Amino acid sequence: MRILITGANRGIGRALFDSCGARGDAVTGTARNDDVFLPLDVTDPASVRAMADGFGTGPLDLLICNAGIYLDKGQTLPSGYPPDMWAATFAANVTGVFLTVQALLPNLRAAKGKIAIISSIMASDARAPGGSYIYRASKAAALNLGRNLAMDLKPDGIAVGIYHPGWVRTDMGGSGADIDVETSATGLMSRFEALSLATTGCFEDYAGRAIPF
């Protein structure tokens, strides 16, 4: 398979990159500042276009939109959540996903490929414990984006899945999280393999459990 993973230089993205490489896939990783990976800043439209040009015109079997940020951890309602934090988070977690899909759409169409959007259980409207307003809203928007892409791209033979990777021990998830990156990556790869036009638009965790919208 020919696979592209955004945000592949660390955490879950790196574990997915290593997993794909170990099983023999032709995998391309992207990162903002890393000489090993294809340069990509998902918040910069020019960078997205340059990434697509660098990737080339060949078919793409699987696009994993993993790049994202969580800036508002620990913010307080009375005085936190400044406007520039909202803008930066949505630029990375929502607009960046859309621009990446849009730029690589010819490659995906050529392969009748799949799109995997790494969202979060925090996107669920049915599960709203409060706090982390910016991150939750951005991941809910990414979920909505994925669901709508699934409808529009189904006639092209492109399936779209939206996934919660679990609470993972990474810089973002923290040392007290439930699972390690290898467990998350292994589970996610199984979900990507199971994704089809019959399940397009699904919202699942790394173990295949459906998450309420």
Q: pLDDT-based confidence at 179, cuts 50/70/90?
A: confident
Give me the half-sphere count of Cα atoms (radius 13 Å) on the Cβ side of residue 149.
Answer: 25
Q: Is 206 a catalytic residue?
A: no
| pLDDT value at residue 173 | 63
The answer to whether residue 62 scores a pLDDT higher than 80 is: yes
| Helical residues (DSSP H) of 23-157, grouped into ranges | 45-55, 83-90, 96-111, 133-153
Give the pair of three-digit tokens for residue 193: 């393999």
User: How does residue 171 score in pLDDT terms, banded at 50, 70 and 90?
Assistant: low
CA distance 161 to 175: 28
β-bridge mates for residue 58, sequence order: none
Domains of the chain: 2-205 (3.40.50.720)
What's the confidence (pLDDT) of residue 34?
83
Token output for 141:
């928007």
Token digits of residue 161: 């899945």
* Residues paired with residue 163 on neighbouring β-strands, in sequence order: 118, 204
Tell me the β-bridge partners of 62.
Answer: 3, 114
> Taking the chain, what is the end-to-end CA distance rounded to the nearest angstrom?
30
Angle at 204 between CA 51 and CA 213, to 5 degrees: 100
The residue ranking higher by pLDDT, 165 or 170, is 165
Q: Is the dihedral of CA 56, 99, 190, 110 positive or negative?
A: negative
Annotated catalytic residue, options 81, 133, 135, 163: 133
Cα 141 to Cα 52: distance, rounded to the nearest angstrom: 24
DSSP state of 121: G
Average pLDDT, integer, range 134-161: 98
- The whole-number pLDDT of residue 176 equals 72
Whole-angstrom distance, CA of residue 177 vs CA of residue 141: 24
User: Which of helix, strand or coil describes residue 72?
Assistant: coil
Q: What is the structure's pLDDT at 33?
A: 86
69 to 42, 45, 171: CA distances (angstroms): 11, 17, 11
Interval 189-196 mean pLDDT: 98
Per-residue pLDDT at 109: 98
CA angle 155, 161, 162 (to 5 degrees): 140
pLDDT tens per residue across span 72-111: 999 999 999 999 999 999 999 999 999 999 999 999 999 9
Cα–Cα distance, 140 to 136 (Å, whole number): 6
pLDDT above 70 (res 154)? yes
pLDDT, mean over the chain: 95
81: buried, middle or exposed (CB in 10 Å: 19+, 13-18, 0-12)? middle
pLDDT in tens, 29-59: 999 988 889 999 999 999 999 999 999 999 9
